Amino acid sequence: MIVRPKKSLGQHFLTDKNIAKDIVALLKADNLTKVLEIGPGMGVLTNFLLENSAYETSVIEIDSESVDYLNDHFPQLKDRIIFGDFLRIDLAEKISAQPFALIGNLPYNISSQIFFKVLENKELIPEIVCMLQKEVAKRIASGPGSKVYGILSVFLQAWYTIEYLIDVPPHVFDPPPKVQSAVIRLTANGRTELGCNEKLFFKVVKQSFNQRRKMLRNSIKGFSPRIDELDPVLLTRRPEQLSVAEFIDLTNSIEQLMAAPI
Ligand code: SAM
Interval 66-122: pLDDT, tens = 999 999 999 999 899 999 999 999 999 999 999 999 999 999 999 999 999 999 999
Interval 139-182: pLDDT, tens = 999 999 999 999 999 999 999 999 999 999 999 999 999 999 99
Specify whether the CB–CB gap between 44 and 13 falls below 8 A.
Answer: yes
Interval 1-56: pLDDT, tens = 899 999 999 999 999 999 999 999 999 999 999 999 999 999 999 999 999 999 99
Cα of 101 vs centre of ligand 1, distance in Å, is 17
Residues of the chain above pLDDT 90, percent:
97
**Average pLDDT of the chain, as a whole number:** 96
Q: Which residues line ligand 1 (CB under 6 A)?
A: 9-14, 38-41, 44-45, 60-63, 66, 85-87, 105, 107, 110
pLDDT at 261: 72
pLDDT at 262: 66
pLDDT at 188: 98
CA 42 from chain center: how many Å? 22
Specify whether the CB–CB gap between 106 and 81 falls below 8 A.
Answer: no
- Domains detected in the chain: 7-188 (3.40.50.150), 198-259 (1.10.8.100)
Three-state secondary structure call for residue 40: coil
